[in-house]
Structure 1
Amino acid sequence: MTEVKSVLVVGACGPERREHAEAIAGARGAAIVRSERPRAADRPGRWLDDLAATLHVAAPEDCPHDGARDLVVEVASEVPVLEAIGLLDSDGTPGALADVVCVVDAGHLLEDLFDDDYLPEFVARALLAVRQIEFATVVVVTNWSGLTAPDVSLVVSLVSHLNPTAHLELDVQRWLDDDRRGAPNTPTGLRPGWIRRLNSDHPSSFSPRIRDERVSTVRYESVRPFHPGRLRAALEELERGGRESDGRGRGAGRVVRSAGFARLATRSGITAQWEHVGRMFDLLPLEGDGTAEEPLCVGQDLILTGIGLDEDRLRRLLDAAVLTDAELLAGPREWARFHDPFPAWIHVRDRA
């Protein structure tokens, strides 16, 4: 029996995503399976159940050797890419996941990453878009012919920093003709640039395949927790500085994506995941020191990727947001008095 293979096609722009899914399916003689856009009225995970059922119809387990067909699975931009990967890579799904192809519209990339719209489930569209790039094995950049060469260079370099191991192509047909398959030896979970940079002992080991001098990645570390009030002010300054840096060369640059682990002084003993893209920012509690053998981080360990970053200014801005010597010596009881503008965290025990 011939093993059925599937290719997941994602992307923020629907027409381009559909066009490339059809091109891949045509080249492979594969069947196209589409996941519709989740509706607000649907129960959580409804789209996942519907897609799983459709996959079994498209590629039945008892398909004869000469009738086996590969699958091209196109999912709507509102579908979380990690959930789609989990479904296609599970034992209960027909076939094996061969590639995750992300279609990027060069002219709209920054617009997609700075989209401030949220879905009804309180998921930022920008976060969905950046994760599609970060977890792809292949990124196809399209609609670039109308851009200048420097603009194309910037877009491709930014994609390469977000996902250093992805196979980058400006023409899907070239990838199909060459039959190249990304970097199969790299686990999907290790593809995002911020994860790979956190796991790197030296900056030189983080190697985006395509570089543009305007695009860079900075690692920020500090053993001191953040003062939440000053952190909020620093984030606002970063957003203002990003806008100013485009036109007047001020500020620390335009931070497009940052992620990692952080601690707030007012929430002692809890490590938070720092999740930021464009205008979207969130801190998500991960664990307390009493529930893990060792904390994920003592203070801050962040990876920041952007355009025109001034590393010195960026570090000074974040350094000003961590506790001073006097505040650090005052201890957790005094930290609890600090102004904390961030939303309260709902812990698992609270939900129960």
Structure 2
Amino acid sequence: MISQDNARRSAGVPVLAVVGTRPDARLEYATELARTLDRQLVTSFQLRGAEDPVSEASRLTARVQTPAGAVVEIPDRVSTAELAAGLSSSASAARLEGVICVVDAAHGVQDLFREDYLVPRSGHPSMATARSLVSITHVEHASLIALVNWEDVPTDELRTVLALVHHLSPRARVRLLEDLTDIAETLPDPTTTPGYDARLDRPGWVNLLSNSFETFIHHDRVVALHYDCARPFHPVRMHELVHELMSPERFGTVVRSAGYCRVASSANVTGHWNHVGKVMALCPVSLDDDLELLLDPWADTDPLTVGQSLAFIGLDLDREELVSALDRAVLTDEEFLAGPSAWAEQVKRLR
């Protein structure tokens, strides 16, 4: 007969991961959560020296003897998407039950506008990642968002923060934590709640692009929109647009924008547009061998892959002005109809 302990380990050690941008608040929450649930605590201090903190968390979790499992406090530099993939893999000793993001209500929005970079433990500075790009994954991929230190935040500002985090992560439960002694009240009933879903469809921007975006926490200041256009960006005008997005006076405060785009200077490449706060990254995700086919209405190809599919989430956004600026940044009728060969020549003249 298989013992309960062996059966538990064959299914993976149950793990709740705690993430967040404020180390003190994150550790305090994780410590109390472990005590309340009678689980073993693995802290970020134990993981921070590892080249791969996720693999180290899996290794340490395999040694956990507490029947209830473990609570793992995750270091700042670990993306939650990376964490979910690592601890949900068949090679991991862990069974990820949930990802809890601890957000300091008084600083949550400001933390997304930080401009410093995180360097891997043994990596070169060129491998650094913007902290805000990592921090946004903590919110977007959480199964539970626990707001702490909210008592002194003005009511309307608190409502704004609640609505914003819900728009960023519409699939997460959002809870105000009044006191750490009531921490169990924020957790879902494990008998009625499925385990953590490690799929990457949790972020609000992904839901906006798939037209499945639904929210139940609203505030007049929090705005979300989906921009769809079949034309590539003009490289110079796109560069100017990105600078405008960073200026709160231009369209309101664009907290998050993400999606997929094309630029005429390399129009056969689909790029991942990844922007939060004051940081922007554009990374290639696919390459088309024959761009001309994308412009052929009779070809078996989706013409939207030529252009833009972008989501925007922010505060006090001027929808009409933002959409107008995006429209001005893409190719004009004349530029678009000239075709890919002309786009390439145009870029040569810009150099």
The two structures share one fold, judged by TM-score above 0.5 = yes
More moved, 262-271 vs 171-180: 171-180
When the two chains are superposed, the root-mean-square deviation of aligned CA atoms in Å is 2.5
Select which of 27, 46, 55 maps to 2:36.
27
* Amino acid corresponding to residue 68 of structure 1 in structure 2: P
Contact 2:54 2:83 (8 Å CA) reproduced: yes
Contact 1:225 1:299 (8 Å CA) reproduced: yes
Shift in alpha-carbon separation, 1:178–1:218, aligned structure 2, 3 A: closer
Structure 1 residue 150 corresponds to structure 2 residue 150: no
Aligned to 1:348: none
Shift in alpha-carbon separation, 1:104–1:237, aligned structure 2, 3 A: same
What TM-score do the two structures reach when normalised by structure 2?
0.84
- Distance in 1 between the 2:84 and 2:196 partners? 16
- Distance in 2 between the 1:280 and 1:217 partners? 19
Shift in alpha-carbon separation, 1:294–1:116, aligned structure 2, 3 A: farther
Matches within 5 A, 1:182-221: 188-200=199-211, 205-221=212-228
Shift in alpha-carbon separation, 1:74–1:288, aligned structure 2, 3 A: same
- Gap runs ≥5 in structure 1: 60-66, 245-250, 341-352
Shift of 1:51: 2.4
Shift in alpha-carbon separation, 1:328–1:95, aligned structure 2, 3 A: closer
Aligned to 1:13: 22
Matches within 5 A, 1:270-309: 270-290=269-289, 297-309=305-317
Aligned to 2:56: 50
Structure 1 residue 323 corresponds to structure 2 residue 322: no
- Cα deviation code 1:183-231 (max 9, x no counterpart): 758654111011111111xxxx522221111001011011010001001
More moved, 108-117 vs 289-298: 289-298
Contact 1:226 1:265 (8 Å CA) reproduced: yes
Shift of 1:69: 3.4
- Cα deviation code 1:59-114 (max 9, x no counterpart): 4xxxxxxx623100111111222222222212233342111000001111122101
- Distance in 2 between the 1:82 and 1:223 partners? 29
Shift of 1:306: 0.2
Return structure 1 stretches of 4+ with deviation > 4 angstroms. Answer: 172-175, 181-187, 291-296
Aligned to 2:165: 159
Could you say what secondary structure the match of 2:272 adopts? strand
- Distance in 2 between the 1:291 and 1:338 partners? 19
Shift of 1:174: 5.1
Count matched residues.
318
Shift in alpha-carbon separation, 1:338–1:225, aligned structure 2, 3 A: same
* Amino acid corresponding to residue 193 of structure 1 in structure 2: G
Contact 2:268 2:290 (8 Å CA) reproduced: no
Matches within 5 A, 1:18-167: 18-36=27-45, 38=48, 45-59=51-65, 68-120=67-119, 121-167=127-173
- Cα deviation code 1:104-158 (max 9, x no counterpart): 0111112210111112332110011110000000000111111100110011110
- Distance in 2 between the 1:337 and 1:146 partners? 58
Could you say what secondary structure the match of 1:255 adopts? strand
- Distance in 1 between the 2:254 and 2:129 partners? 20
More moved, 86-95 vs 115-124: 86-95
* Amino acid corresponding to residue 143 of structure 1 in structure 2: N
* Amino acid corresponding to residue 207 of structure 2 in structure 1: R
- Distance in 2 between the 1:294 and 1:54 partners? 48
- Distance in 1 between the 2:290 and 2:184 partners? 48
- Cα deviation code 1:40-68 (max 9, x no counterpart): xx7xx433343232122224xxxxxxx62
Identity of aligned residues (%): 33
Shift in alpha-carbon separation, 1:254–1:81, aligned structure 2, 3 A: same
